[in-house]
Amino acid sequence: MSYKRWIFIATFLFVIGLGFGLATPAGISLPSEYIADLEEQISSLLALPKLLIVMFIFIKNTSVLLLSFVLSPIFCLVPILALTANGWLIAFVSTAVVKEKSIGFLLAGLLPHGIFELPALILGQAAALSFGAMMILLIVRRQSRTVLVSSATQSVRHLVLALFVFFIFGIFPAIIIVALWNKETRDILMPNLKQNLKYLLLALALLLPAAIIETYITPLLLT
């Protein structure tokens, strides 16, 4: 499946999340203790130097995309959850902000960095979906599964490395590394991996201006 179709699927999942957020009853709210703790954490964060805030936002957003990409072979659950959860949160919070403030206030807070952050979310999660689907097919196919098992057990060195990666990072990164050892599975996996890493890097690059705008420009617009 082409990457453009994965972008469409990622956008569709995000829109589903938006729909759930809009359909969520307005009376539902978080516990007051949780809100107070969250406000305290945000206040502590805002007290930091601007550059550190930019780094924090950038690292937080990039770690989410990287985690989605690495864990995408788990039935693509992580990228699916990330897209729908982000869509739900944006719609739910936006509804509350419009009721309390105005549409203009919402746009001032969301659009400046959202112009970069939302495309980054879609591009990065589309890459994760594409790569996860390829890995799932690679594991499900009987021939590829046989090759993976034989590659992992063909030498003690490979087996020890596979076990080490498994215990440190988990089964799916271990499967990816084992797949890259064998030429047959490597020829299947590498084109998909190279393409999706390119789009993932593009998504990560978009997150940097989004973090800068969110730190320096968005607070000015909201005041």
Average pLDDT of 94-115? 84
pTM to 2 decimals? 0.81
Best-predicted range by mean pLDDT (6-10, 30-34, 66-70):
6-10
Predicted local confidence at residue 53, as pLDDT = 85
- Name the token pair of 48: 């930091």
Q: Where are the beta strands (DSSP E) in the chain?
A: none
How far apart CA 57 and CA 165 sit, in angstroms, is 29
- pLDDT surpassing 90 at residue 204: yes
Cα 85 from Cα 125, distance rounded (Å): 12
pLDDT band at 116 (very low <50, low <70, confident <90, very high): very high
Q: Tens digit of pLDDT for each residue in 125-172?
A: 999 999 888 888 777 765 555 555 555 555 555 556 555 655 555 666
What is the average pLDDT across 37-53? Answer: 69
Q: What is the mean pLDDT of the chain?
A: 80
- Sort residue 49 into left (φ over 0), alpha (ψ -120 to 50) or beta: beta
pLDDT given for residue 76 in this prediction: 92
Q: What is the mean pLDDT of residues 168-191?
A: 68
- Mean pLDDT, to the nearest integer, of 67-75? 87
> Residue 27 corresponds to which tokens in the numbers above?
């009376």
pLDDT higher than 70, residue 175: no
